[in-house]
Structure 1
Amino acid sequence: MPEIRFQVEWPDGSQEACYSPSLVVKKYFTPDQSYALDDFLDRSRTALHIASDRVKEKYGMPCGLALGQLKAIESKVSQYQDLPEPMVRVVRFIE
């Protein structure tokens, strides 16, 4: 199963590489595009749950790394909830 990382830039300018065990994230994100914080979170939840489910179909267990990445994203998003119109930019895919 091909894995991928997607580099994001948070509203404070910091960057982070996020993990997905599946290329499905390419259906939900476009490089060099910014997303409203809530939209980014919704897309992350959908993509990473699908990716985890694909691992479960193949190996019989959900992907702990994908679900852990989602928890990390949820935690990071909570730091920016009070900013006016926070945006997250998907910088690039790292294959």
Structure 2
Amino acid sequence: MVLADTAFCSVEFWRGIRKLRDHPVVGVRRDRKLLDGRQLSSLYKGGQQVRLEGKPFVVSISWFYLKRDGKLNKGFVLSTLPMKASTINWWGKDRWPIEGW
């Protein structure tokens, strides 16, 4: 498993990780579009497998809440390996609190 922040959410990065026979768990912007035109923020159930516009992979999506400046911010995360939302969150629980979403 390779954990990375939102800056590494490119197809080239994913392909490089997959060439190494590993799977990325990567932060992703909330305004990313699904193939059907909806945004990630419209999903209602974590762990769903979806296809993002412009991405050749099916990904599992999850989200979590971070408290910043007294407000809860919703951060989205994906994995190219089919996983439950709780598993994706478990993998990144120490990584995401330090990222500035």
Give the TM-score normalised by the residue count of structure 1: 0.26
Give the TM-score normalised by the residue count of structure 2: 0.25
Q: Which has the higher helix share?
A: 1
Q: Which has the higher contact order (CA 8 A, sep 6+)?
A: 1
